[in-house]
Structure 1
Amino acid sequence: MNAAVFRPDDDRIADAVALLDDLGAVPVPDPMLAVDPTGAIPRGDGAVVVVTSKTGVELAADSGWTPGGGRLAAIGPATADACREAGWTVDVVPEEYTSAGLVAALDGDIDGARVEVARSDHGSAVLTDGLAEAGAYVHETVLYALTRPAGAGDSTEIAAAGDLDAALFTSSLTVEHWLAAARER
């Protein structure tokens, strides 16, 4: 079975390829996301700091930034693990690993509080709008942009030829990028 995988061209695609190999599939690596750091650094005065990805944590930590004295909220366990690896204490991980789940986990605790949200340029308004509706003063720092790498889309040609058995999408943005690559080719 040929299976296309669209992770960024780093350890994430290498891990996905290794897993597909272990499962007996033929990996078709076709990175549909590139991480382009903005160089921005989150503010340090938040009563609550929200991080939404392992990548964001790594970029913030590499810049020397720390969450300071505020409570730290991570959108899910992988992000929380990255926080802990950076030496940060995680105070909140929602039961539902989504923007809405994070808002629900913080609702009732943030009225009048400054909340710093550190994430990608493709973050959902559900998070920032929901925090604001819960009474928080929200500041967002865009740590990185998610772009489509030049040359991405080899798997679209394999699919068009009828030789692709599976496509493993990890986000709506990878779907959008794959479809754009298919249209261009």
Structure 2
Amino acid sequence: MNNHQTRVLVTRPASQNKQLCALLEQIGCHPLALPTLVITPLAGPELNDFTAVLAQQPPPDWLIFVSANAVCHGWPFIDAQPTIVATTRLAAIGQATADALQQRGVAVSAIPEQQFDSDGLLALPAFAAPLKKRIVIIRGRGGREYLAEALRQRGANVEYGECYSRDLPTAGATQLDQWLRDGAIDLVTVTSRAALRNLFALANQDHHESLKKLSYALLSPGLTATAKTLGVIGELLVATEASDAGICAAIEQLTKDID
């Protein structure tokens, strides 16, 4: 696979894929943007549970943000709670999430040093023994239970603050099936479990075997298990760091190894 000819499917949401596409072009790849995820902020009655969690007293000891989307859609409501802003410590699951918080002028007290996922966060001293600490995980609706369960096992009182949904796009299936039918995709970039699952949901069942044989560039090690569960047998690359640049570095290294 020569990176000057590599056609890379970019599955990030439309509002977040421009930087990755630009970086792929810089290393000579041809990006194919096809979002497999739509981020929709919760509104009206759907937000009642989120605002109720924020209003509870005493304020949380920790807010854990699991994505930059959690910051984008959750922070306006958190910022309206002066007690939380003044007293609650903030944790970010990765550098992009931490950057989103810092751009809003707030300090991040905990971020994984290397492994930017739930296990990396759980390895931090701050969460080694969070006995009786009130922790609110800011996330999208219906996310994984792993982080909350692990913190509860360590004695924390954990709640969710859900402020957005991750939905299947209503468009893109026809284009995806055409690319798969024509063999027009060499590699797929994936930045979340939901995006990977939705990729298979969008594709016609007849093309699932083709999807399974493709190579994938994954944002974090935790995504490898999801890929294997879906039956992927192609090469699984893990980003050198949890960022768009890290994804591109992994792709570039693959092409160098093959050349």
The offset of 1:33, in angstroms, is 0.7
SS of the residue aligned with 1:7?
coil
Specify the alignment match of 2:89 in structure 1.
Answer: 71
The answer on whether the counterparts of 2:129 and 2:155 sit within 8 Å (CA) in structure 1 is: no
Identity of aligned residues (%): 26
- Gapped regions of structure 2 (runs ≥ 5): 1-5, 207-259
Specify the alignment match of 2:13 in structure 1.
Answer: 8
Q: Does 1:43 align with 2:63?
A: no
TM-score for the superposition, normalised by structure 2: 0.65
Distance 1:170 1:4 in 2: 12
TM-score for the superposition, normalised by structure 1: 0.89
The offset of 1:171, in angstroms, is 2.3
Give 1:104-183 correspondences, 5 Å limit: 104-105=123-124, 106-153=126-173, 154-183=175-204
2:101 corresponds to which of 74, 80, 83: 83
2:116 corresponds to which of 86, 93, 97: 97
The offset of 1:79, in angstroms, is 0.9
SS of the residue aligned with 1:88?
coil
- Gapped regions of structure 1 (runs ≥ 5): none
CA RMSD of superposed structures (Å): 2.0
- Please list the CA deviations of residues 105-136 of structure 1 after superposition, one character each: whole Å capped at 9, or x if unmatched: 23344201111111112432111101111111
Count of residue pairs brought into register by the alignment = 184
- Name the structure where helix makes up a greater proportion of residues: 2
Distance 1:98 1:150 in 2: 29
Distance 2:94 2:189 in 1: 20
Larger Rg: 2
The letter of the residue matching 1:18 is A
Specify the alignment match of 2:71 in structure 1.
Answer: 57
The answer on whether the counterparts of 1:3 and 1:25 sit within 8 Å (CA) in structure 2 is: yes
SS of the residue aligned with 2:204?
helix
Specify the alignment match of 2:22 in structure 1.
Answer: 18
Distance 1:23 1:113 in 2: 46
The letter of the residue matching 1:170 is T
SS of the residue aligned with 1:61?
helix
- Please list the CA deviations of residues 26-56 of structure 1 after superposition, one character each: whole Å capped at 9, or x if unmatched: 2211011110111434616101111111111
Specify which structure has the bigger relative contact order, considering alpha-carbon pairs within 8 angstroms and separated by 6 or more residues.
Answer: 1
The answer on whether the counterparts of 1:156 and 1:182 sit within 8 Å (CA) in structure 2 is: yes
